[in-house]
Structure 1
Amino acid sequence: MFNIVKKMPKALWIVVLAHGVTDLSAGALLVALPFLKAKFALSYAEVSAIALMQNFTSSVSQPLFGYFSDRSPRPWLMPVGCLLSGVAMVASLLAPHYYLTLLFTAITGLGMAAFHPEAAKTANRLSGKAKGKGVSLFAVGGNGGFAIGSLLLATLLYSNVSTGVLFYILPYALLGIPLIQMTRNLPRPEVKQVGSLKTLRASINWPLLSLLGMVLSRSTVAAGISTFVPLYYVSYLHGSEMYASSLLTVYLATSALGTLFGGAMSDRFGSKRVMLYSILPISILLYLFPIVGDVGAFVVLSCASILLSATFTSSLVLAQKMMPNNVGMASGLTIGLSVGLGAMGVLALGKVADIWGMPVIFTILACLPVVGFVLTLFVEEPEEETVSLVVQVSK
């Protein structure tokens, strides 16, 4: 495991930390929603609109930021996007009116969207030939930030200090100077990659669309587990809230292991092979989940989390390979749009649960990895020599 993080440049670690700090706001939103509901006496629909606003703006606009990043490198988007997401999150909590909260929440999402494509592209470049390892570290940074964000904001909101929420800005301020210095000192690419509509159109093909379809199915499964596992135990089985929370914690914590594992295996065996061997077993695990018992549920969810995270890292690396002149767009499509649409799929699953009951959800979630496996069969992984040739020809 230690070989995964050896010899990675200092600049990459700064990008990883910046990813974690930026994604604090994604995790913090989970704690902010009950606070805002009580503050403004909101309905559940109005609370859902706040969550939808951040998810929508951060996911849909990421490919656009990625496109402009490919047209011309814009490393300044990393510090600006990171800081904007933190400041806007605090502003949404302090806003005196609900509609101002919606506005600042949208700005938070835009800040996150501005950061991710440029940062993912930078992580790809700084990783050298070990792109799987570098991108997996980048993803782990985001996972850590998401997990810490809810804990950080909960501590500040309920600290009995009236201005405690202002300390939420502290991580952004501490990282700001080294992040700005890093962006100024970034080495120029050895091969100039200029993305355009022409190179983007040339990249769009059935293998790429199949990959994005796999990412969509995988993202729906991941978001579905996070959403419905607690509801299944607490609302349907009337079980312990502590047990449901523990399950979710273990599920989220083991994702870091899968992210690192997927990156290392992608470098060694290829991204497509990792996805093929990772995604299909998830179907079996989710089929077993409702029937394995209390202890077995921890084992099943841990294994599913590792495999899901492995497919995420592999799909991001592969998308960047398949779009060598539009690496920012590739990152925006996989991290942003496809993942965001997967989260939207949870809304449809909720409607299914209302009509046919909660157990049906896990049957559907168990079928989606099969769809992802079939789509992965149509993915074609380019060789490194082919990627280099495409970049040179486009100059």
Structure 2
Amino acid sequence: MAATQMTFLRNRPYQAVSMSHFFIDVLNSSRNLLVAIIAVAIGLTNTQVGIVLLLYNVGGSLSQPFFGWLADRIGARWLVIGGLGWMIGFFGLAALSGDWLALIALTAAGLGSGAFHPTGTMVASETSQTSKGKATAVFFFSGQFGLFLGPVMAGLLLQQYGRPGYIVLPALAVIAFVYAWQYLPINRQALHEKKENRDKARQTPGLPWPVFVRRGVPLIIIIITGSTVSIAAITFAPKLFTEMAYLPAYVGLLSGFYMLGSATGGIVGGALADRVVWKWVIVLGMAGMVIPIYFYIPAAGVVQVFLLLAAGFFSGMPHTILVLMVQSLFPGRQAMASGLALGLMFTGGAIGSFGLGIIADRIGLATALQATAVLPIIGLVAALFLPKR
């Protein structure tokens, strides 16, 4: 039975988008370590770091609904290949150029992430109708595992070879680029079916407005609070640890543990999505974040590692479910809905992190990061108002 449910793993297009997701997020997460090192080298304030990361995340996230809309019409191939190729080019430039040009390249790279994420999510969620939650969760796991390995590998490369050594990571991503080019075709039959589904959706009454609002508003609150906590942790914790004179390899390892926890939590949450009432998985994730988020800053050694793993685990649990819940609000428009969900995650988190940077310049970065522990409590309360499915 389990083997039957996992047949989606043998699907070539699914493999292509999952492999691409891994390398996209290796680059995404290692970006934070690059920015932290450049920021300390040229003396950027926390607010300025927040602006750099805001531009990257907003550029990548505000474009996601558009790219999702486009994917529903032209298919996944060129958006997956183009998005990954775009990121390979700009991250390669960031490795080999001067500090300011590297910051510009890292900012521009966000559009590639924006093109890939809603498109890849669409392919993953459509691969298996019997194990939709599991297939989507494994796709997200590939990205989360990339988010774990990215800072670890980047830290080792930067410590040994400096920024030019970082070129290894975009070079490795060429493997996924070639695989996607080979095995991700334009599925014209699927495009035709999507067009028919869109036509039917236009003729079918959507959710009543009060129901849409009752479901949508709590989702927005949950997504913004949860993503702000996560993006703040993976963005500003490396800068804090760098300021504390931690070696780049150790900073990368600590950042990676958060993402390893998030990857594991995403798999657990996705598996539960096929068996348990969705809202309670979200409630558990929000509740579980509070204590480790508050205490990982003052902790040290093994305790700090454990708390980062726990914080990441609980933050990752609701991820798949939130995307599927947003998709359920827009029948026949899965890629666009994925773009809206992921775009809101990145935009909300980026704006929240920018605000955190401003606050951190006034009260201190460590104190500001600890204060983000209140956000999951707000998300937990909002989750209680969600319907059962």
Please give the alpha-carbon distance, in whole angstroms, between the structure 1 residues aligned to 2:370 and 2:39: 33
Q: SS of the counterpart of 2:109?
A: helix
Give yes or no for contact 2:285–2:314 (8 Å, CA) kept in 1. Answer: yes
Residues 244, 264 of structure 1: alpha-carbon distance in 2 compared, 3 angstrom cutoff? same
User: In structure 1, what is the equivalent of residue 138 of structure 2?
Assistant: 137
Distance 2:273 2:19 in 1: 23
Q: Say if 2:27 and 2:169, in contact at 8 Å, map to a contact too.
A: no
1-structure distance, mates of 2:303, 2:362:
28
Structure 1 partner of 2:339: 332
Change in CA separation of 1:166 and 1:280 when aligned onto 2, cut-off 3 Å: closer
2:376 aligns with 369
Distance 1:268 1:144 in 2: 24
Q: Which residue of 1 aligns with 2:16?
A: 14
1:325-364 → structure 2 map (5 Å cutoff): 325-357=332-364, 360-361=367-368, 364=371
Instruction: Output the CA distance in 2 between the equivalents of 1:359 and 1:103.
Output: 27
Q: Which amino acid aligns with 2:218?
A: S
Give yes or no for the alignment of 1:379 onto 2:386: yes
Do the aligned residues in 1 keep the contact of 2:201 with 2:331 (CA within 8 Å)? no
Q: Is the 8 A contact 1:194 1:325 kept in 2?
A: yes
Query: Which residue, 318, 323, 332 being the options, matches 1:316?
Result: 323
State the Cα deviation string for residues 149-178 of structure 1 (Å, max 9, x = none).
344455656666997665544333322232
- Partner SS state of residue 184, structure 1: coil
Q: Distance in 2 between matches of 1:135 and 1:295?
A: 32
1:182-227 residue CA offsets vs partner (Å, 9 max, x unmatched): 2216584466433899699956533123212201101112223335
Gaps of 5+ in 2: none
C-alpha distance 6-300 of structure 1, shift in aligned 2 (>3 A): same
The answer to whether residue 224 in structure 2 is matched with residue 216 in structure 1 is yes
Cα distance in 1, alignment partners of residues 142 and 241 from structure 2: 30
Q: CA distance change for structure 1 residues 187 and 267 in 2, over 3 Å: closer, same or farther?
A: farther
Residue identity over aligned pairs, in percent, reads: 24
For residues 293 and 18 of structure 1, the distance between their equivalents in structure 2, rounded to whole angstroms, comes to 35
- Tell me what 2:178 maps to: 177
Note if contact 2:23-2:173 (Cα within 8 Å) is conserved in structure 1.
yes
Report the Cα distance in structure 1 between the residues aligned to 2:318 and 2:4, rounded to whole angstroms: 17
Which letter does structure 2 place at the counterpart of 1:219? S
CA distance in 2 between partners of 1:202 and 1:93 (Å):
48
Cα RMSD (Å) of the superposition? Answer: 3.9
Which residue identity is paired with 1:221?
Answer: V
Q: TM-score, normalised by structure 2?
A: 0.80
Instruction: Please say if residues 60 and 113 of structure 2, whose CA atoms lie closer than 8 Å, have aligned partners that are also in contact.
Output: yes
CA displacement at 1:81 relative to structure 2? 0.8
Q: Is the 8 A contact 1:57 1:109 kept in 2?
A: yes
Q: Which moved more, 1:117-126 or 1:102-111?
A: 102-111
SS of 2:383's partner is helix
Give the secondary-structure state (helix, strand or coil) at the position aligned to 1:128.
Answer: coil
SS of 1:269's equivalent? Answer: coil
Paired AA for residue 339 in structure 1: F
Cα distance, 1:36–1:301 mapped onto 2, change above 3 Å: closer
1:224-253 per-residue CA deviation (whole Å, 9 max, x = no partner) reads 333555677786xx7977987665443222
Residue identity in the other structure for 1:171: L
**What is the letter of the counterpart of residue 221 of structure 2?**
G
Q: Residues 24 and 306 (structure 1 numbering): CA distance in 2 closer, same or farther, change over 3 Å?
A: closer
Alignment of 1:23 onto 2:30: no
Cα distance in structure 2, aligned partners of 1:289 and 1:162 = 28
CA positional deviation for 1:358: 5.6
